[in-house]
Amino acid sequence: MALLPILRFPDPRLKKVAAPVAKIDDSIRRLVADMAETMYEAPGIGLAATQVDVHKRVVVIDISEEKNQLRAFVNPVIEQCVGAQLGEEGCLSVPGIYDKVERAEQVKVRYLDLDGKEQVLEADGLLAVCIQHEIDHLDGKVFVDHLSQLKQSRIKSKLAKQARVTA
C-alpha cells in the first residue's frame, strides 16, 4: 500500500470527470487499498479517486469511529434522493475550510463491489452526505462549487495564502 498525494482546490484536475471502471481487477483493488490508507492518514471519512489524480469512478468511505468499516464503491450511481438536509462539510482537497451545503437526506446508490458484484445501498445521515460529496468529485465538482461566487473566491484566497505560508 502507498500514500497518494491529494490534489488541492483549485487544481484544475479536480474538475475532470472520472471514467467508468471497465473491469475490477488487482489494479483497482490496489487503488482502493492505497486510497483507504491515504484517507485514514489524512485523516478523512471519504476519498474519491479524482482527488488522488486517478480519473476512474472509485470512492472509499468509512464513517465509523473505529475506522474499521471501509466501504468501496466502484461506478456508483445515485438512483434516488429523498428529502433535504443542510450540514457543514469539509474536504481533504480543501483543507481547513468548512461550510454548509444542502444535500439529500436519503439516497439509494447502485455500485459494484470489489468482487464485481452489483450492490444497492440505501443510506441516510452522514453516509448519504458522504456518498453525494464523493460522487460529486467523480463528476468534477468540489463542495465549494455549491457555495456562492463570493465564498468561492474567499476560499481560493485563503488557500493561496496558506500555500504561501507553508511553502
Structure confidence by residue, pLDDT tens digits, 59-79: 999 999 999 999 999 999 999
How large is the average pLDDT for residues 21-45?
A: 98
Does the residue 97 lie in any domain? yes
Q: What is the mean pLDDT of the chain?
A: 96
Does the residue 45 lie in any domain? yes
Domain that includes residue 50, residue range: 12-166
Structure confidence by residue, pLDDT tens digits, 118-150: 999 999 999 999 999 999 999 999 999 999 999
Question: What is the amino acid identity at position 132?
Answer: Q
C-alpha distance across the termini of the chain, in Å: 28
**Can you point out the beta strands (E) in the chain?**
46-48, 58-61, 71-82, 85-91, 94-103, 106-112, 118-124
All three cell numbers of 49: 479517486
Annotated catalytic residue 134: yes
Q: How many domains does the chain have?
A: 1
Does the residue 67 lie in any domain? yes
Does the residue 147 lie in any domain? yes
Q: Place 165 in a pLDDT band, splitting at 50, 70 and 90.
A: confident
pLDDT at site 41: 97
Indicate which CATH number applies to the domain containing 43: 3.90.45.10
pLDDT at site 163: 80
Does the residue 73 lie in any domain? yes
